[in-house]
Each structure stands twice: as C-alpha cells, then as structure tokens.
Structure 1
Amino acid sequence: MAPDARWKKHFVAQRVFGESPLFTDVDGDGLPDVITGKRRWAHGPTGDAEPNGTPYISAFLLRRAADKSVSYVPRRLDDQGGIGTQLVTADINAESLPKLKDPLMALRKASKQVSDVVSAQTALATGEVDIVVGGGEWLTAVLAADNPNLDWTIPKQGGLRWAQSIGVVAGSTQPDLALEFVKYIVSPEGQARLATASCYWGMPANAKAGDALSAEAKAVLRWDQQPDFLTRAQLYPIPDAATDTAMQDMWTEMLNQ
C-alpha cells in the first residue's frame, strides 16, 4: 500500500520556522494544542534560513466540530521571547549540555570580551561596552552613583538566579557563636547590610530586609520588581562531576575560539 493511500495529510501550516513542536492544552479545553516558535541564532549566525528573524511563540489550537472533523486555529502568543533550547537549568547534565554549545559560541562571536566582575565593571564605567549579558545588580549597583543611567533587568526569556548558602561546619570550635553569626546573616538587618556591601550589591533573600533598606537602595536593587523577576529566574544548576567537567570543557573551548 502506498504511504499516502492510508494516511491523509492535513496541513496545520504550510511554512513554519522553529523548533520541534510541543503538545499541551493552551486554552484549557482539554485538547492537545501545538506550540512551536523560533529564536534568533537558534543554530548560530548561519545555521537557519532566517537567523535574525523576529523571535516568536505560536500555538495551533485544536478544534473538533460536531461532525468530528478536526482543524487547527493559529494564534501568535509572543513576538519577543521566542522558543529554542527548551532546557531548564535544573535539567542540565552532560547529555543535554551540547544543546547549549551553538548559542554559546554564537554569543561569544558577537561579544567584545568575556570578563570577570572587575573587568566588566571597568568596561561599563569607561564606555568600552554598553551591555553585559549575565550581569545584574551586583555588577551595576556600585556604579550607579557615577552613572545613574546604568541599569539592569531580567529579559522576558529569563535569567539565572545566583544563590549562596551559609552554615556551621562540623567540628567548629565555637558552634554556638557560629550559629549566632548565621542567624544574623540571614536576619533582615544582616541581609540589608549584605545587599549593599562595598564589594558588590546583591538582592537579599529575606523579604523583611526591605524595612532596613533606604528608598535609594531599593530603587537600585529594583526592589518592587522582584516578584516579577523571580517568576522568570531559574536557580543555578548543581552539576555532578561529569556535568561539571563537560561545562568546563565547553567554556574553555568558547574562550579559545
């Protein structure tokens, strides 16, 4: 039997640029809809037909008529964020990491430099660069007094949430005193002081720290926008040994290109 004799083709769309589709119920009617889309440089600067085309997320909503016929209704959901690697940072491992290689290498080619904190701050302060990818309040806050137009944000596509921990090590000679120090560090006052430390600023984890911060400090930290930012932030991955090695190898390759 010829392939087309058994299955009849029903085109959802004649032409769609994008990644492999996902199936989920977008509009809550219990039917699986199709989601697809594209982002800029999904496969590098020359790997796609339109590498610099407008990023988008589109849905094709499944509809079933009374006569049991099926159709899909196209809907453009977003024309800013795009869709691409579909990889949550918590799911990064040695097997999934290669999906990030092409975007990383493309980003490196488009960048003036890859810097540490001090070099990045210097480049911003001198005007050598205008944008730092992967920066945040910890990078721009100490420059705000001299450059009030310098700001930071989390894009619609999301960003990484940098988290640190503190504890009392086993065998501490003064565990009670160490515990009191930990309590102070995570207290509203301690968090507020850390948030505006002279070395670099950082958003406090204790929401009550806002009571101890000035209005000016809150403005620099974008305090009122944190709930929205948190919805778009993913925790930094905790790699196992194999993933850590693979990440370092990819980073070294990127630096050497």
Structure 2
Amino acid sequence: NGEMLAMCGIGDWITGVLHKDGAPVASVIPEEGGIQWTESYSIGKGSTRQEIANKFIQYMLSPGGQVRSIQMAAYPGLSPTKSGWKAIQDANPAEAERSGLIEGHDQSPRKLLAEKRLFLRDIPRQQTLEDWNDFWSEYKTA
C-alpha cells in the first residue's frame, strides 16, 4: 500500500512472495552491507541412509534442483552455481532478474560478496532478553 519504506531483517524471501502477488516491492542490500543467512546440506556421521541423502544433495545442487529451490513458495534459495543461474534464467527470467541471478546485476549475490556488502552470519551465541530488548529499542529510535 506504499506505507513501508524500509524493513530490517525479514529476508528476500518475503519480498519475493509479495512481488509474485503483485506488490511493488524489492530487496536491496545497502552500501553499508548486510548479513547473509546461509544454509547447508549435511549428512550426519551416524546416518544409516547416506546414499539417499547424497543423491538428494546432488539433485539440489543440479541445475534442475536449483531452479526448484529458487522457485519455492516460502524461503526460496539463491543458486550458488553458474549452471543454476543459467537454468533459472532459461526457466523463469523474471525471477532471475528479481533475485539478481544475472551476471552484472546490481544486487547479484556475487557482486555483493565481491564488494564486501554481504557478511556471513556468525555462529549464534546466547543473548539475554535484556540484550534483545536493548537492540530493539535502539533499532526503533534509529
């Protein structure tokens, strides 16, 4: 409705969902940088189904798996591979553009990393409720 100018900490996935529903929104990493939320695929040491887990990981890293991940309804991923970028550009050019998965795009993850505008999230540490409340108060008055 045009009332929100900026929002902190929600992530690109929500702007993707809103954009797909026709809302005129976009995600932008500011010049000062931002935190990149990352996820990984892992196979537990004691897994009894390592072979099928490995096949799943191989699929998710394939161009087809990357396209599927990028187009998920909630928490879509960004492709870490050049073949994934090419596949999403072919399958859904509008989503490739929206999520910056085009070489030279202003919000391309590769460009943002090269410019040191994305920072990997640190390992979580235990914080008190008071720490969170102090941060929230500071954020609201910024």
SS in structure 1 at match of 2:119: strand
Question: Are the equivalent residues in 1 in contact too, given 2:79–2:101 (CA < 8 A)?
Answer: no
Q: Distance in 1 between matches of 2:65 and 2:100?
A: 19
CA distance in 2, matches of 1:192, 1:144: 18
After superposition, give the CA deviation of every residue in 1:176-229 in whole Å (9 maximum; x if it has no partner): 111111111122221221111012323222232122212111111122321322
AA aligned to 1:166 is Y
- Secondary structure in 2 matching 1:234: strand
Q: Equivalent of 2:67, from 192, 201, 216?
A: 192
Instruction: Using the TM superposition, name which of 150-159 and 202-211 deviates more.
Output: 202-211
User: Is there any run of 5+ residues in structure 1 with no aligned partner, and where?
Assistant: 1-125
Structure 1 partner of 2:15: 140
Q: Which residue in 2 is equivalent to 1:161?
A: 36
Q: Give the alignment's Cα RMSD to 1 decimal.
A: 2.4
Partners of 1:156 and 1:183 in 2: CA distance:
35
Name the CA distance, whole Å, in 1 between partners of 2:129 and 2:93: 40
Contact 1:135/1:152 (CA < 8 Å) preserved in 2? no
Secondary structure at the residue paired with 1:246? coil
After superposition, give the CA deviation of every residue in 1:129-184 in whole Å (9 maximum; x if it has no partner).
33212344212011113335211111100111111111111222221111111111
Alignment of 1:58-77 (within 5 A): none
Greater fraction strand: 1
Cα distance change, pair 251–179 in 1 and its aligned pair in 2 (3 A): same
Aligned length in residues:
128
User: Is 1:228 paired with 2:111?
Assistant: yes
The answer to whether 1:215 aligns with 2:100 is no
Q: Deviations over 1:102-153 (max 9, x none)?
A: xxxxxxxxxxxxxxxxxxxxxxxx6563321234421201111333521111
Larger helix percent: 2
Whole-angstrom CA distance in 1 between matches of 2:46 and 2:26: 44
State the percentage of identical aligned residues. 27
Q: Is residue 251 of structure 1 aligned with residue 126 of structure 2?
A: no
Where in structure 2 are there 5+ consecutive unaligned residues?
Answer: none
1:248–1:204 distance in 2 versus 1, CA, 3 Å: farther
Query: d(CA) in 2 for partners of 1:161 and 1:245?
Result: 20
CA displacement 1:48-73 (0-9 Å, x = unmatched): xxxxxxxxxxxxxxxxxxxxxxxxxx
